[in-house]
Amino acid sequence: MSELHLIWRNLVRRKLRFALTLFAIFIAFLIFGVLGGVRTALQSGVDLMADNRLVTVNKINFTQPLPISYLNKVRAIDGVQVASHSGWFGAYVRDSRNVIVAFAIEPESYLQVYGDEIRLDPAQREAFLRNRQGMIAGEALAKAQGWKLGDRIPVQSNIFSRSDGSTTWEMVVEGIFRGKEESSDTRRMYFHYDYLNESRAIGKDFTGIIVFNTVNPARNETIARQIDALFANSFYETQTDTAKAFNKAFIAQLGNIAMIITSVVSAAFFTILLIVGNTMMLAIRERTTEIAVMKTLGFRSERIFRMVLAESMFLSLLGGLLGIAAALMAVAGLHKALAGVLPDLSLGPAVIAQALAIMLALGLVTGLLPAFAAMRLNIVTALGRN
């Protein structure tokens, strides 16, 4: 028998209690791992964006429109390399629950701005540019919807209607594009702004956002200030920022993800701290006589302290490692399922290192008090209680 065996036997002496405590820790670290992966994925998506890409949106909110006339004014600014625009269409196909991410764009310029991220066969590109009713769909979207080249798709909008009252725009799949990387999000489609603009009843000559590349990232700030100054005091004031900042702001619209994750994880860990701490205190309390006997046999107080602390550390590490292992599997599964939404979803070494640190801290915090109580236990008093 080793000391480890003794620690283990003490730990599992009440199997149900052990299993439930272990399960609580397991769940906490599973949540931590998965949410940590999501947080990393959200952050890395922003990080991958080009540094010289800027976005101009309505100063009130990016959901408010901008006049299309702004595009040429932006193009005229010195240092703007290529500019385009896109507008949210609010698309669905057949069933209003079958929502499609669709943008009305100026095709040629847009494909220039996003040339690296929207990878399209040259022939398909040409066909798309030629056909005003044409659209291009991402591989993932086309696969999910069962679209093939040449298919005619009745795309409906939950925002716009045509002059004749209908909400359907028939479009032809002229191209199916890939993303920059295998895992890039391709669950979206693009179609001609002109096709929408000429027939819609409301919102004519307005777009959503203007997106452009600058000649040099060092000039981003100056150019952004110049654009916003240009439209200052107009009915449609603008706010220009880098695409990275825009995306961060977009994510912030959904809520402060980092804060939500931190809050959820903190609440989970605080609860676990109370559960494990209480369990350890109870476990030591009911072993008062045994600890006194061990001391009587000659086990030194420091050794008892170490053994009790090792017990809580072991519990925390076991539950935590199982939780992180489950999180790794869950994230691997989610990575496939959410490839379009969170292409960079993964459980990185930084999250695992954080988890390990929390496991050690949890074991330490929950074990210190009972270990100290066990160390201080007076043999005569404890045996006298028996």
**9 in contact with another protein (CB under 8 A):** yes
Closest by Cα among 217, 215, 199, 197 to 207: 197
376 is a contact residue toward another protein (CB under 8 A) = no
Q: Is 6 in the site for another protein (CB under 8 A)?
A: yes
Query: First and final CA of the chain: distance in angstroms?
Result: 27
| 175 DSSP 8-state letter | E
User: Is 136 or 371 the residue whose CB approaches another protein more closely?
Assistant: 371
The residue length of the chain stands at 386
Q: Which residue, 144 or 293, has its beta carbon nearer to another protein?
A: 293
Nearer to another protein, 46 or 293 (CB): 293
Q: Near another protein by CB under 8 A, which window of 37-45, 207-215, 277-285, 295-303?
A: 295-303
Residue of 164, 171, 156, 155 lying closest to 201 (CA atoms)? 164
Q: Is 380 in the site for another protein (CB under 8 A)?
A: yes
Nearest residue (CB) to another protein, 16 versus 254: 16
383 binds another protein (CB under 8 A): yes
Q: Which of 122, 150, 298, 349 binds another protein (CB under 8 A)?
A: 298
Given the structure tokens 């170490």, which residue do they identify? 306
The span from the CA of 348 to the CA of 353, in Å, is 9
Give the whole-angstrom CA distance, residue 338 versus residue 75.
Answer: 36
User: Using CB under 8 A, which residues numbered 251 to 290 contact another protein?
Assistant: 289-290
300 near another protein (CB under 8 A): yes
- What Rg do the C-alpha atoms of the chain give, in angstroms? 30
Task: Using CB under 8 A, count the residues that bind another protein.
Answer: 25
Question: Looking at 293, 356, 364, 373, which residue binds another protein (CB under 8 A)?
Answer: 293
Q: Whose Cβ is closer to another protein: residue 254's or residue 297's?
A: 297
Question: Which of 104, 111, 106, 91 is CA-nearest to residue 153?
Answer: 91
80, 220 in Cβ contact below 8 A?
no
227: amino acid identity, one letter: I
Binding site for another protein (CB under 8 A): 1-3, 5-6, 9-10, 12-13, 289-290, 293-302, 379-380, 383, 386
